[in-house]
Homo-oligomer: A and B are copies of this chain.
């Protein structure tokens, strides 16, 4: 055990992984399709990674973005790496819809409405992500 939860746990349901990073799907009410790309080894900032690793990490993030667009057709994709609480590189890849709980605010902002709409495409998302990453 370390003091880092992303070193000690997968951080979600693993959809895909390679030697350097993993894609997980998380359970966030109101946000089906919310994925994270988590670097496997401990690093706090993207600029702590060598350039080839940064490029690889972003290629995986953008592959997840493409899969989310292809399967769920969101109004917008939100990408963010914050790490203020868990300083281990992890990217939030979030499909946003005009009727989701916070739109057009960030998911960390003020809630705009109740409800958690069902989204088409979520059942094929994992396969689409694997397919995008295989193609790449």
Contacts and interface: CB of A to CB of B under 8 A. Distances in A.
Interface of A: 44-47, 54-55, 58, 62, 65-66, 69, 75-85, 87, 96, 103-106, 108-109
How many identical subunits does the complex contain? 2
B84 A78 contact: yes
B106 A44 contact: no
A54 B136 CA distance: 15
Nearest to A57: B58
30 contacts: A45-B65, A45-B69, A45-B76, A45-B77, A46-B65, A46-B77, A47-B62, A47-B65, A47-B66, A47-B77, A54-B58, A55-B58, A76-B82, A76-B87, A78-B81, A78-B82, A78-B84, A79-B81, A79-B82, A80-B80, A80-B106, A82-B106, A84-B96, A84-B104, A84-B105, A84-B106, A85-B104, A105-B108, A108-B108, A109-B109
